[in-house]
A and B are shown apart, each in its own frame.
Chain A
Amino acid sequence: MANVKARVKAPKTVKKGEIFEVKSLITHKMESGQRKGKDGKKIPRQIINKFVCSYNGKDVFSSNWHGAVSANPYLSFHIKAVESGSLDLTWTDDSGAVFKKSTKIKVT
């Protein structure tokens, strides 16, 4: 797809101290760098190489990505509810482009 679109799903309300799941999906072609174009030249690698999730400004989950991750990658992980606020997800790719998506959670 031409435009990169991201989406994130987390429960709207969670109890304090509870561990909850965050699901994320982003459309990205994840060009591997192994393929050749019609002109016979290698198509340069362009994959998402870093993913960070911050919770009220504090990084709570991050990962470095390498080759062999599929296009349109799906990622889910668990974090612990501490306080109400926002979850900010950031994907960075090889071209330096940054894609962001946020969601709000309410901790009761």
Chain B
Amino acid sequence: MRKLYIGALSVAALTFAVGCSVQLAKTWGKYEVEDRRSGYTYRIAETRRIQDDDFENPGMMWVDEGSSLWGTKDGKAGKACASCHNDASATMAKAGTEYPKFNSKTGKMQNLEQRINQCRTKNMEAKAFKWESSQMLGMTTFVRHQSRGQAMNVKVDGDAAAFFKKGENFYNERRGQLDMSCSNCHEDNAGNMARADMLSQGHSNGFPTYRLKWQKVGSLHRRFRGCDKNIRATPFEYGSDEYVNLEFYLAWRGRGLPVETPSVRN
């Protein structure tokens, strides 16, 4: 009788082990590249479901907004984005994967927001969009959306190398009253809880993202400012060199992950 009992127990243990290995073997498909996992994989099923359905995903409303701005003439030159760039689905197909890029005129890195405003002020002779305005968010979300599903792929060599180093240093530098760096949360503790929130690896492939907390779409720099406030550091300005270099380093750090714009996060 006793032998039988042990036998039953070991069968149970075996089933448990098999169950576990199935759990561990769960793969995230395109959302996982080598040891890099998109923030998508750290969110609960309900949040992921909102992102998966283009109708339910509220971020798509910003894509629509950007789409209508794309064809709207503005400024003294009487041009719209479409006047030069024609069909965004063809001309912007790679833009979301390649920015920030080195700009030889300014001798600095330039991100998507800054590139759009350069076009607006120089070529369209229109007013620059304000950072985090609904127009700017609509336009960046729309442009980046054209690259959805394609792998992040920024060039980090040549002129950009020095800025890459700056971004990397910023990422690993301790700041604020809590004396924490980006890597303390997003590398050392990815997958662990910070109070009720699960820390992700902190990749930028889903931005601009529809954040449930914000109840709207927000830029990557808004997220940076939020992070800086959390560690009791003084946030830098939207579009500051520090943040653009950091954005550049993050784009490389998430290399190979698909652009998800507009993603949905909590």
Interface residues, chain A, with chain B CB atoms under 8 Å away: 1-2, 5, 7, 9, 23, 25, 27, 29-30, 70-72, 74
Contact = CB atoms under 8 A, between A and B. Distances in A.
A9 to B, nearest CB: 5
Interface string B209-225: 00010011000000000
B61 A1 contact: yes
Given A2-B134, A5-B64, A72 B58 contact: yes
Contact of B215 (A23, A25, A70, A74): A70
Contacts of B65: 1, 5
Interface in B49-82: 50, 55-56, 58, 61-62, 64-65
B61 A23 contact: no
Nearest to B53: A23
Contacts of A9: 55
18 contacts: A1-B61, A1-B134, A2-B134, A5-B61, A5-B64, A7-B55, A7-B61, A23-B56, A25-B55, A25-B56, A25-B58, A29-B215, A70-B212, A70-B215, A71-B216, A72-B58, A72-B216, A74-B58
Interface of B: 50, 55-56, 58, 61-62, 64-65, 134, 212, 215-216
Contacts of B58: 25, 27, 72, 74
Nearest to A6: B61
Instruction: Name the residue among A25, A30, A70 with the largest chain B CB count within 10 angstroms.
Output: A25
B56 A74 contact: yes
A72 B56 contact: no
Contacts of B50: 74
Contacts of B212: 70
A23 B216 contact: no
A3 B134 CA distance: 10
B60 to A, nearest CB: 8
Given A1-B61, A5-B64, A70-B212, A23 B134 contact: no
A25 B216 contact: no
Contacts of B64: 5
A7 B134 CA distance: 18
A25 to B, nearest CB: 7
Nearest to B217: A1
A2 B135 CA distance: 10
A29 B58 CA distance: 12
Contacts of A1: 61-62, 65, 134, 216
B56 A71 contact: no
Contacts of B55: 7, 9, 23, 25
Nearest to B212: A70
Contacts of A25: 55-56, 58, 61
A100 B165 CA distance: 53
Nearest to A71: B215
A72 B134 contact: no
A6 to B, nearest CB: 10
Contacts of A29: 215
